[in-house]
Amino acid sequence: MFELLDQIFVLLKHSLVGFLPLWMQPVASVLVSVVVIICLFPALFALTTVLERKGLGRIQNRIGPNRTGPFGILQPVADGIKSLTKEDIVPSSADGVVHFLAPIVLVVAVFMGFAVLPMGRNMALVEMDAGLLFFFAMGASTELSVFMAGWSSRNKYSLLGAMRAVAQMISYEVPLLMSSVAVVMITGSLSLGKIVEAQNHYTWGLPHWYIFTPWGLAGFLMYAIAATAETNRSPFDLPEGESELVAGYHTEYSGFKFALFFLGEYLAMFSISGLGTTLFLGGWSAPFEFLSWVPSWIWFFSKLMLSICVFIWLRGTLPRLRQDQLMNFAWKFVLPLTMLNLLVTALWRFLGPGWEQWVYCSAILALAYVAMARVGMRAEHFGPRKYRYAE
């Protein structure tokens, strides 16, 4: 019975598609999955906005929105109506075509990333051999849309925000990829389905998730930091900080286009959390062997929502990082540690199962963390101010 529940969406899709002629079935099957994703994740986005506002409120000793609907759950409906009915203001000197295309490129690129996430057993939209690479390729396209938004607004503050956002996203893309490469090294495949399958084994009831290994824990932490920076979330939200640059690269957007940027940012958060759970937290596998009767998609979405809650928690706790602090952190701390993590992962594989791999890998990583903290994050002593005059 529980296998039926586990595969219920797959079976529903097959039965639905079975009504069509044979030559249409692959297309229809993909279309049905696409429609489901397009409906499900924006609904999750709506839920997340309420969750975030209520959660942040509770962290800040206040209640969040509670007037629209019981406990404020209809707040996204109100927000949606507001965004849709607001006047769409485009500055007269703005570049019309690029201004229009920027939010579209963002949302399309982010939706494409959902195509490879395995949301349950046999529930990835497309099973690609190079699935991870596809995901990162789509993530790279979002940087282009940020730049397009900032440049086309013809507003120097938007452009400044866009430049900062692009610099931040490029800097943190390298640690993001390299912490994922460690997982690929151990699994031996770029396919996300195989990565989850490799973690779906249990020893003494405990799962083989990669986060429970030393290199996996370090990789997960760095992946989380890089993911927070990639999606411009607090504490890395300088490009869109309201107190810094009005609204950064989406200053000149109003109404529905702003809603699209908002949607794109949250969807990027979902997809990158989804990838993080797939790579490090075991995707759709259950935490304990005796719990594997619970449907796999429930585990995936619970882990996803848990990651979102951690994102909200971080947002409520940490102050914003300055641009130079952000960049220093990326290049002088996270990147060297990620490269060391690759070496440690190789050492793990090389030493083979036993106590040696645990002890040596943990020791190297702990030592490196302390050393990098002292060396890489040393406070900069700025000398007397240097002035640079125009020649």
Partner 1 sequence: MCYPRSHRRDLRPTDEDLSVGTLGRGHPAFVGMQALERERLPMSFAFTLFAAITVAGGLAAVLLKNTVHCALALTVAFAGLALLFLDLDAQFAGFAQILVYIGAVAILVVFAILLTRGSETPKDGVFSKNWFAGLVIAAGVFAVLGWAVLASAYALPGPGGAPTATPTVTVAEIGQALISRYVLPLEIVALLLTAALIGAVIVAMDEKERAR
Partner 2 sequence: MLGEGILKGLAETAKNFAGSFFSADRLTTVEYPEERIAPIEAARVFPILIYDGLDWEAGMRCVACQICEKECPPKCIYIEKSKDKKPDALGKPQFYPAEFDIDISVCMSCQICVEVCPFEAIKMDTVFELSTEDRFESLLLDRRQLARPNRYFQQIHPTDAGVVDARLAADRAKSDAKAKAAADATAAKATAAPAPQPAPAPKPGEGN
Residues of the shown chain interacting with partner 1 in the complex, contacts defined by CB under 8 A: 26-27, 29-30, 95, 97-98, 126-130, 133-134, 136-141, 143-144, 147-148, 151, 159, 163, 166, 170, 173, 188-190, 386
- Nearest C-alpha neighbor of 297 from the set 278, 279, 276: 278
Which of partner 1, partner 2, none has residue 27 at its interface (CB below 5 to 8 Å by kind)?
partner 1
Which of partner 1, partner 2, none has residue 151 at its interface (CB below 5 to 8 Å by kind)?
partner 1
Distance of closest approach, residue 387 Cβ to partner 2, in angstroms: 33
Distance of closest approach, residue 26 Cβ to partner 1, in angstroms: 4
Residue of 15, 61, 93, 243 that binds partner 2 (CB under 8 A): 61
**Residue nearer to partner 2 on the CB measure, 13 or 332:** 332
Residue 314 interacting with partner 2 (CB under 8 A): yes
**Residue nearer to partner 2 on the CB measure, 187 or 228:** 228
Q: By rule CB under 8 A, what count of residues binds partner 2? A: 17
Distance of closest approach, residue 307 Cβ to partner 1, in angstroms: 24
Distance of closest approach, residue 206 Cβ to partner 2, in angstroms: 24
Give one DSSP letter per residue of 4-29, joined into a string: HHHTHHHHHHHHHHTTS-GGGHHHHH
**Which ranges constitute the DSSP H helices of the chain?**
2-6, 8-17, 25-59, 75-85, 96-113, 131-152, 156-187, 192-199, 214-230, 242-245, 256-279, 296-317, 323-329, 335-351, 355-376
Q: How far apart are CA 148 and CA 384, in angstroms?
A: 38
Whether the bond between 235 and the residue before it is cis, its omega within 30 degrees of 0, is yes
Per DSSP, the three-state class of 141 is: helix
**Residue nearer to partner 1 on the CB measure, 95 or 289:** 95
Residue 206 interacting with partner 2 (CB under 8 A): no
Per DSSP, the three-state class of 234 is: coil
Q: What is the largest CA-CA distance in the chain?
A: 78
Per the CB < 8 A criterion, the answer to whether 261 and 106 are in contact is yes
Per the CB < 8 A criterion, the answer to whether 277 and 307 are in contact is yes
Q: How far apart are CA 131 and CA 217, in angstroms?
A: 22
Residue 385 interacting with partner 2 (CB under 8 A): no
Residue of 59, 101, 185, 342 that binds partner 2 (CB under 8 A): 59
Residue 313 interacting with partner 2 (CB under 8 A): yes
- How far separated are the first and last CA of the chain, in Å rounded? 78
Distance of closest approach, residue 48 Cβ to partner 2, in angstroms: 16
Per the CB < 8 A criterion, the answer to whether 177 and 140 are in contact is no
Residue 201 interacting with partner 2 (CB under 8 A): no
Residue of 316, 360, 362, 368 that binds partner 2 (CB under 8 A): 316
Binding site for partner 2 (CB under 8 A): 55, 58-63, 66, 313-314, 316-318, 369-370, 373, 377
